[in-house]
Amino acid sequence: MLTGFVLLCSNRSDFLWPSKRSIFLLGLVPVIGVVVFMLGGVEFSSPFPELPRSAPADQMLKLLPEERLKDLFTFDGIWLFPKNQCKCEHQESYNFQDAYGQRELPAVKARRRVEFEHFQRREGLPRPPPLLAQPNLPFGYPVHGVEVMPLHTVPIPGLQFEGPEAPIYEVTLTASLGTLNTLADIPDSVVQGRGQKQLTISTSNRKLLNFILQHVTYTSAVYQHHRVDVVSLESKSSVAKFPVTIRYPVIPKLYDPGPERKLRDLVTIATKTFLRPHKLMTMLRSIREYYPDLTVIVADDSKEPLKINDNHVEYYTMPFGKGWFAGRNLAVSQVTTKYVLWVDDDFLFSHDTKIEVLVDVLEKTELDVVGGSVLGNVFQFKLLLEKSQNGDCLHRRPGSFRPLDGFPRCVVTSGVVNFFLAHTERLQRVGFDPRLQRVAHSEFFIDGLGSLLVGSCPEVVIGHQARSPVADPELATLEKTYSAFRTNTKDQIQFKLALHYFKNHLQCST
């Protein structure tokens, strides 16, 4: 049998295989003549040299041209295919490093690289290239799904040997993060290395060999989290490799809805207020018209504390002007029910503000967050991410991905308005970054990308208190101060762009 290797290398920086510049060993591939495939960047027009006429079939071995590829894998105008360098080419795009001054930028880049490497180290990134199975391996083995808790033992299913007949069979299993054994009751002459990282089976009895293999066990030897051990199974020159994942299962954090499933035991309302006590009280009164006993958590970073006469309001004070997201994070950190309903302090509950509908959606689907609409304004946006070595590219587009299964008038998206019901545990896990002190909204959904499945049901509507001048001079002063804080100043925009650059390791957004 002819054997050979085919090398796939990328020699341009634009085009990227998932394993970057790693070389794929393609094993047993018959090679006739010299055919070297150069994936030369994004241009595929003439990727390989002229071949002699005596092998006409080889002329068929070409790849699709670039424009065709872009067609195939483009979504919402963005090419969602691996690449070395993503770009933000749009009328409205932000290049995040512009938020830093020229002089400080090199130092910022260096610090970001250090922090990013620490993050990667702790997350086990970058992941090793995919584990490839060779053809015609004489083994059965588990490709996917073997998991073990740290220090625990599991049987490994599916191991078997089906190679050619031989006078003696010798099969070796090797692990690195754990030890191997077998439940088979066999003398040490047949099985060596029980309880070690390498287990060797030597026997002339094929049935015995397979019996031992069927009962092989893996023991996680070191207390660690989130690791993947690659176990190899070999005999003569054949090697099979398979993964064993070492991790704890998710610890449940359930909430008891109580024997009567009262809404009060299922949902807590949370809000944050700042220098708008009149609006807050108006909102509270509107809640009480429809929901007299739901707990309302209020985080307040105003100058003076309020006195709220309501048995079901929990009131918290913060340092003055500590901030918008700090207050959101505070309020959410205090919730003791399964769901939390976020509302802004200037909203207005109405007959259409049916919390029960939102609860029903979260109870019956896999959503973590479901938003409604404010005054009928449907606000939804999608987030699309392109990974890249020097910072990712984030794209925001209006609208939704698809309808929500079981709720045809609802959709799945990435971001919604500030009126939403969420699984408390999931919301707390993502949180609202207290570094965002003033105007911020999408930052929460960006932090939640991949962690929160977000939906929108526009038929659940909340009202909004109109901006009207207040008569009371004290309140008017407050409102003026409020507006000053609320202005999205140049400094604040710069701060948020810098935060995206450093914190989220982003390059740009459109």
Residues in 276-335 at the binding interface with a copy of itself, rule: CB under 8 A: 305, 314-319, 322, 326, 329-330, 332-335
Give the length of the chain. Answer: 510
In the complex, minimum distance from the CB of residue 152 to a copy of itself, in angstroms, rounded to a whole number: 4
Q: Name the residue nearer to a copy of itself (CB basis): 147 or 459.
A: 147
Residues with Cβ within 8 Å of 10's Cβ and at least 6 positions away in sequence, in order, are: 16, 17, 20, 21, 39, 41
* CA–CA gap between residue 83 and residue 357 (Å, rounded): 42
User: Do 373 and 419 touch, CB atoms closer than 8 A?
Assistant: yes
Which member of 48, 379, 401, 482 binds a copy of itself (CB under 8 A)?
401
Site for a copy of itself, residues 335 to 374, rule: CB under 8 A: 335-336, 338, 363, 366
- Report in angstroms how near the CB of residue 388 gets to a copy of itself at its nearest: 12
Q: Which stretch binds a copy of itself (CB under 8 A): 84-92, 180-188, 279-287, 483-491?
A: 180-188
List, in sequence order, the alpha helices (H) in 267-323. 277-290
**Should residue 26 be labelled a site residue for a copy of itself when binding is judged by CB under 8 A?**
yes
Interior/surface letters 451-475, b for 16+ CB within 10 angstroms, e for the rest: ebbbbbbbebbbbbbeeeeeeeeeb
- Which one among 101, 259, 408, 473 touches a copy of itself, defined by CB under 8 A? 259
Kindly tell me which of 23 and 476 has the beta carbon lying closer to a copy of itself: 23
> What SS3 state is found at 269?
strand
Q: State how far Cα 255 lies from the chain centre.
A: 24
User: Nearest 5°: CA angle at 304, between 301 and 306?
Assistant: 90
Q: State yes or no: residue 21 binds a copy of itself (CB under 8 A).
A: no
Phi-psi category of 57—alpha, beta or left, where left has phi over 0 and alpha has psi -120 to 50?
alpha
Written as six digits, the tokens of 38 are: 């150069």
- For 347-387, where are the E strands, in sequence order? 347-348, 369-374, 381-386
Closer of 33 and 469 to a copy of itself (Cβ): 33
Closer by beta carbon to a copy of itself, 161 or else 381: 161
The two tokens of residue 424 are: 């408390």
The reply on whether position 409 binds a copy of itself by CB under 8 A is no
Residues 78-97 that bind a copy of itself (CB under 8 A): 80-82
Segment near a copy of itself (CB under 8 A); pick from 150-158, 342-350, 461-469, 478-486 = 150-158
481 binds a copy of itself (CB under 8 A): no
Cβ 82 to a copy of itself shortest distance, Å: 6
Q: Does 109 bind a copy of itself (CB under 8 A)?
A: no
Note whether 101 binds a copy of itself by CB under 8 A.
Answer: no
Cβ atoms of residues 177 and 222 within 8 Å: yes
The Cα-based distances of 193 to 238, 297, 374 in angstroms read: 20, 60, 67
In the complex, minimum distance from the CB of residue 86 to a copy of itself, in angstroms, rounded to a whole number: 12
Minimum distance from residue 442 beta carbon to a copy of itself (Å): 13
CA distance 34 to 11: 19
- Residue 350 tokens read as 């109405």
CB of 150 to a copy of itself, least distance (A): 8
Shortest distance (Å) from residue 182 CB to a copy of itself: 8
- What contacts 188, CB < 8 A, 6 or more positions away? 194
Per-residue burial over 318-336, b = 16 or more CB atoms within 10 Å of its CB, e = otherwise: beebbbbbbbbbbbbbebe
How many whole angstroms separate alpha carbon 156 and alpha carbon 143? 11
Write out the binding residues for a copy of itself, residues 192-221 only, by CB under 8 A.
Answer: 195, 205-208, 210-211, 214-215, 217, 219
**134 near a copy of itself, judged by CB under 8 A:** yes
For residue 240, the minimal CB distance to a copy of itself (Å) is: 8
Asked if 131 touches a copy of itself (CB under 8 A), the answer is yes
Number of residues that bind a copy of itself (CB under 8 A): 154
Binding to a copy of itself in span 457-476, by CB under 8 A: none
**Residue 218 burial (CB < 10 Å; 0-12/13-18/19+)?**
buried
Which residues from 45-64 bind a copy of itself, rule CB under 8 A? 57-58, 60-64
Tell me: does residue 5 bind a copy of itself (CB under 8 A). no
**Residue 384 within binding range of a copy of itself, rule CB under 8 A:** yes
The residue (of 170 and 363) whose beta carbon lies closer to a copy of itself is: 363
Nearer residue to a copy of itself within complex by CB, 353 or 456: 456
Of 186 and 475, the one with the shorter C-beta distance to a copy of itself is 186
